[in-house]
A and B are shown apart, each in its own frame.
Chain A
Amino acid sequence: MFKTKFLRPPGAVKESEFVKKCIRCGKCQQICPYNSIVLTSWENPFYFGLPYIIARKKPCYLCMKCPPVCPSGALDRTLVDKNKVKMGIARINRDTCWAYQGSFCRACFMNCPIFDKALKMTDELLPVVIEKYCVGCGICENVCPVEPSAIIVEPLKD
């Protein structure tokens, strides 16, 4: 009934700990220059006020401004390198992705901030997620022209 998988801001500790550690003060949401971070309300009243990201609406652009303002250690204050972020992992739906359907599209590849590392185009011009480098920022999910998105960021499990 309630949404249980949330894409947390960059630098978030693992979900079970995040729920305990976040004091929901909203500073990460305030500093976010893109207004990517939203607060939970109806989606899951148990997580009331917890910050998360709806990648399809506004992904995380990895400006890395939010981790340093976290007072409680819910976001790792020391994190500055966007390559080390791990919010989730993108997954491609081969049944709807234009590239896998014989069309040609590379929106996710071109917009990936970990360019040519987290997403690769194979020789067949198919996008492929490299789990090791994918930070889960959700930009790919945001730009995918397919409705609903053919590439979705799966938030990290514990």
Chain B
Amino acid sequence: MKDFFKGKFTLTRRLFQIGTFLFFLAVYYTSHKQSFLLGTFYSFKLGPIHIVDPFIYLTYLGRNLLKADLFVWTVTGFLIPLLIAFLFGRVFCSWICPYNFLYEILDFLKTHLFRKKPLIYFEASPKSKKVWLALALALGIFIPPFPYYILMPGLLSVLLHQLVLHLYSFILFSLLLILMVLFVDLFFKKRIWCKFICPTGLILGMARWKGGLRIIKRKDLTCKECALCSFECPLGLTPHLGNHLEDCYNCGRCVDICKGLRKKENPLDFKFL
């Protein structure tokens, strides 16, 4: 269990993930009394601003074209996640996303309790990702419910609200969906969801800026080439080789785990600008 929280960044990140869960519970329990904080991961109302999932909003715009209601606070809310991704990369996925959290818990339990051999992580080429994203957008535009079947964070947050409300038909239906996805994700194509299918993740990944927050391997410090970071990386990347920029979601696990030759001289570190 200690492993799960070990490390400065990992511990903070876990607190964020648990905090997100508690925060949403708090929102759902108080939602009758206040309208300042409302919503799910599809769209979250923060005061007047409606932060929206970029993929949801893009499909919304595509579906409605000229008839779309371009509410100024929603448009603002659409830009916020993109801006965050631009500056800080896919921090949403690692620090907030409840599906990722759920996955990490289950993966941890699976490897530590059942001592299963780790699967090979799913890999996809950048080009195939772009093709899939275009396809997902098209599907989302022409089949309105499509995004809601594949966006796990939103589905989980809605599910959480239904648990508060005891709306069991919905809970059962969405739970089945989530379990199906988790099953594939955990036992067949490891991390296929986060690395390939999740359109929001893809969009956020594309929005990131090369100068934004990222993990680098410092040239001035010596790497032991112990490859511990690559063993521990939740996405199956290889930070010690330095080719991690594309998929990395800035969780900081490798920074935590990295052991340099001398103390406080770890070659892996976060960098901004």
Using a CB–CB cutoff of 8 Å, the interface residues on chain A facing chain B are 17, 19-21, 23-27, 29-33, 35, 38-43, 45-49, 65, 68-69, 71-73, 77
B173 within 8 A of A: yes
Given contacts A23-B57, A30-B39, A39-B158, 5 further A-B contacts (CB under 8 A): A20-B64, A20-B144, A25-B44, A40-B170, A71-B71
**Closest 6 CB pairs between A and B?**
A73-B69, A71-B50, A25-B43, A41-B173, A30-B31, A25-B42
Q: A46-B145, A49-B145 are in contact. Are A27 and B39 (CB under 8 A)?
A: yes
Query: Is residue B63 contacting chain A, with contact meaning CB distance below 8 A?
Result: yes
Q: Are A31 and B31 within 8 A (Cβ)? A: yes
Q: Are A21 and B64 in contact (CB-based, < 8 A)?
A: yes
Residues of A within 8 A of B135 (CB): none
| Chain B residues, Cβ within 8 Å of A40 | 170
Per-residue CB contact flags for chain B residues 105-133 toward chain A (1 = under 8 Å, else 0) read 00000000000000000000000000000
Of B79-87, B161-169, B209-217, B226-234, the segment with at least 4 beta carbons within 8 Å of chain A is B161-169
Shortest CB-to-CB span from B135 to chain A, Å, is 20
Query: With an 8 A cutoff between CB atoms, is B56 at the interface?
Result: yes
Best-buried of A21, A30, A32 by chain B (most CB within 10 Å): A30
Interface size range of chain B in the complex: 35 or more
Q: A42 to B173, Cβ gap below 8 A?
A: yes
Q: Are A21 and B69 in contact (CB under 8 A)?
A: yes
B264 at interface (Cβ–Cβ under 8 A)? no
Q: Is B148 an interface residue (CB 8 A)?
A: yes
Known pairs A20-B63, A21-B69, A71-B74; A27 contacts B38 (CB<8 A): yes
Main secondary structure of the interface of B (DSSP, over half): helix
Check A33/B45 contact, CB under 8 A, given A23-B60, A27-B39, A41-B172. no
B100 within 8 A of A: no
CA distance A30 to B170 in the complex (A): 15
The reply to whether the CB of B20 lies closer than 8 angstroms to some CB of chain A is: no
Residue B77 at the A interface, CB < 8 A?
yes
Of the residues A26, A31, A41, A48, contact of B42 by C-beta under 8 Å: A26
- Give the number of A-B contacts (CB < 8 Å): 102
Q: Determine whether B67 belongs to the interface, using a CB cutoff of 8 Å to chain A.
A: yes
Complex interface: chain B residues within 8 A of A19 (CB): 144
Distance in Å: Cβ of B89 to nearest Cβ of chain A: 25
Instruction: Select A41's contact among B40, B64, B169, beta carbons within 8 Å.
Output: B169
A23 and B56 contact, CB distance less than 8 A? yes
In the complex, chain A residues whose CB is within 8 Å of the CB of B39? 25-27, 30
Q: A21 contacts which chain B residues (CB < 8 A)?
A: 60, 63-64, 67-69
By the criterion CB–CB under 8 Å, are B145 and A48 in contact? Answer: yes
Q: Are B161 and A30 in contact (CB under 8 A)?
A: yes
B125 to chain A, nearest CB (A): 31
A26 touches B40 (CB 8 A): yes
| Proximity string of chain B (57-79) to chain A, C-beta cutoff 8 Å, 1 when within and 0 when not | 10010011001110101100100
The minimal Cβ–Cβ distance linking A72 to chain B, given in whole angstroms, is 6
**Least Cβ–Cβ distance between A48 and chain B, in angstroms:** 5
Q: Given A17-B67, A39-B158, A71-B74, are A27 and B28 neighbors across the interface (CB < 8 Å)?
A: no
Partner of B69, one of A33, A35, A72: A72
Q: Is the CB of A49 within 8 A of B148?
A: yes
Decide yes or no whether B238 CB sits under 8 A from chain A: no
Q: Which residues of B contact A39 (CB under 8 A)?
A: 158, 162, 167, 170
**Quick check: B165 and A35 within 8 Å, CB to CB?**
yes
Does residue B52 face the partner (Cβ distance < 8 Å to A)? yes
Could you name 27 residue pairs across A and B whose Cβ atoms are closer than 8 Å?
A17-B67, A20-B64, A21-B64, A21-B68, A23-B43, A23-B57, A23-B60, A25-B40, A25-B44, A26-B39, A26-B42, A29-B165, A30-B31, A30-B38, A30-B39, A31-B38, A32-B32, A35-B165, A39-B162, A41-B169, A41-B170, A45-B145, A46-B144, A46-B145, A71-B52, A72-B43, A73-B68
